[in-house]
Amino acid sequence: MKTGIIGFGKMGSAIFKLFSEHADSIRVVTETENQADEARTGFFKKLEKAVNRGVYPQEVLEEKKERIRFSHCLNTVSDCDMIIEATFESLDVKSQLLHQLEPLVSTEAILLTNTSSLSINSMSNHLNHPHRFCGYHFFYPISLIDIVEIIVSKHTDLELVTRLKQIAASISKNAIVVQDAPGSVINAILAYYYAEALYILEEGLLPPSQIDTIARQFCYVGPCESLDVIGIDFFLSALMNIIHQGTVYPICWNSTTKKADKADFPYPLLFDPLISANRLGRKTNNGIYLYEKGIPVDDAMMFYSRNKTMTSFSALTTTEDIVSQRLFYGIINGAMFSYKMGMASSHDINLGVKKVLHMKKGPFELVQEIGIDKVKDTFRHLHDTVGIRFDPKNVTASEHI
């Protein structure tokens, strides 16, 4: 299969690395000629060093020089069987690129976008052959998360979905099929988890390090460290893109005020001081955490706390228990609401969340293990003590999974 990859940023280069081990030939398109030269030089220099160390035989270097090309010209991918675009996360940029790309390639060529927040339906509406287009969303870091979302539009051909599942298997990835959220159903579920962590910080219950330590009891990474890796600005931008009806993201935005217009998932006020102080995460060396020589440390609690009114809990319940329950059931909440909205099968939601968060068991497996009656009782308790976002109706809609 001849594979084209458009864009060579963080995601594009990671997708290239993945396919460079499997595709018959690869054509990479960068924005400028200089970027193409740098990508070409960097890739083959690393490969030459690996050959010199005896990691690969010389034949591998020669073979890859034959089948891998870097260019800044879009028509380089004209003979590709499959093209994955991984350009700037903008609906206008991606839609314009697809409009330019479509007449250059065969009508049988597969067109894919790696978007993590934009509407697949919106992009497909302007294509002449939308049946061969869908989202193919890899999760970062690609090398550690062996899942890919096939995000279907209202036009996507079912045969294409079958083909993409086969391609995913060939590159050692599990494929799940999701509806247009828009963007990513699994990321939407994770947003419930991240949002809950921000609410906990704002209430002054615990600092980031303790929140993450508690979360690592059931997830590979905590929500605060994850947000710093993702980037506060990127996460906020993704949320602000999701203003369409039918979204499964927890925070709905008023496009005029740029604030949430749903009382159940209020706008996390912590975004404001983080953004204004350019505390965007690891890339700026400060985010939810402060970073001292690359080591994350907590800021003073007064920086995080926005709401001085603490939630009333039983004196017999520790703060750690409260935080653990809210984070854990935040994941359950997102999974159940996504299933209720018909965004994916229970199997695919379960597998996706389990793989991305590196959980031993997925959310629906855990619900069955805990027992639906106990889960309902916990949702009622959280609904009464924390907020209406923990709606017991989501559990009722999912109890027959």
Tens of pLDDT, residue by residue over 170-196, are: 999 999 999 987 668 898 899 899 999
Report the CATH number that the domain containing residue 6 is assigned in CATH: 3.40.50.720
Specify whether the CB–CB gap between 332 and 375 falls below 8 A.
Answer: yes
Average pLDDT over residues 20-29: 86
pLDDT higher than threshold 90 for residue 318: no
Are 98 and 203 members of one domain?
no
Q: Which domain holds residue 285?
A: 186-398
Are 171 and 250 members of one domain?
no
d(CA 269, CA 111): 39
Top-confidence residue, 60 or 136:
136
What is the overall mean pLDDT for the chain? 89
Are 38 and 172 members of one domain?
yes
Specify whether the CB–CB gap between 336 and 172 falls below 8 A.
Answer: no
d(CA 176, CA 186): 10
CB-count exposure of residue 325 (10 Å: 0-12, 13-18, 19+):
middle
Are 156 and 194 members of one domain?
no
Are 160 and 227 members of one domain?
no
Closest CA to 212 of 202, 231, 226, 229: 226
What pLDDT is attached to residue 316? Answer: 47
Q: In Å, what is the CA distance from 133 to each residue of 158, 184, 195, 319, 347? A: 11, 16, 32, 48, 24
| Cβ neighbours of residue 313 closer than 8 Å, sequence gap 6 or more | 322, 385
What pLDDT is attached to residue 247? Answer: 59
What's at 394, amino acid-wise?
A: N
Which residue, 139, 158, 178, sits at the end of a domain?
178
Are 18 and 151 members of one domain?
yes
Closest CA to 11 of 86, 77, 64: 86
Are 86 and 205 members of one domain?
no
| Cβ neighbours of residue 43 closer than 8 Å, sequence gap 6 or more | 20, 68, 70
Are 294 and 311 members of one domain?
yes
Tens of pLDDT, residue by residue over 75-128, are: 999 999 999 999 998 889 999 999 999 999 999 999 999 987 788 999 998 899
pLDDT band for 251, please (50, 70, 90 cuts).
low
Number of structural domains in the chain: 2
Give the rounded percent of residues in the chain with a pLDDT score beyond 90.
Answer: 72
d(CA 279, CA 232): 8
Are 198 and 101 members of one domain?
no
φ/ψ of 254, rounded to 5, equals -90, 115
d(CA 345, CA 181): 14
Structural tokens at position 86: 């991984």
pTM for the predicted model, two decimal places: 0.89
Are 105 and 220 members of one domain?
no
CB-count exposure of residue 81 (10 Å: 0-12, 13-18, 19+):
middle
Average pLDDT over residues 220-242: 87
Are 192 and 164 members of one domain?
no
Report the CATH number that the domain containing residue 201 is assigned in CATH: 1.10.1040.50
CA angle 114, 116, 119 (to 5 degrees): 90
Which residue, 178, 203, 231, sits at the end of a domain?
178
d(CA 317, CA 166): 49
pLDDT higher than threshold 80 for residue 241: no
Place of tokens 């049946």: 131
Which residue, 159, 178, 197, sits at the end of a domain?
178
Are 190 and 170 members of one domain?
no
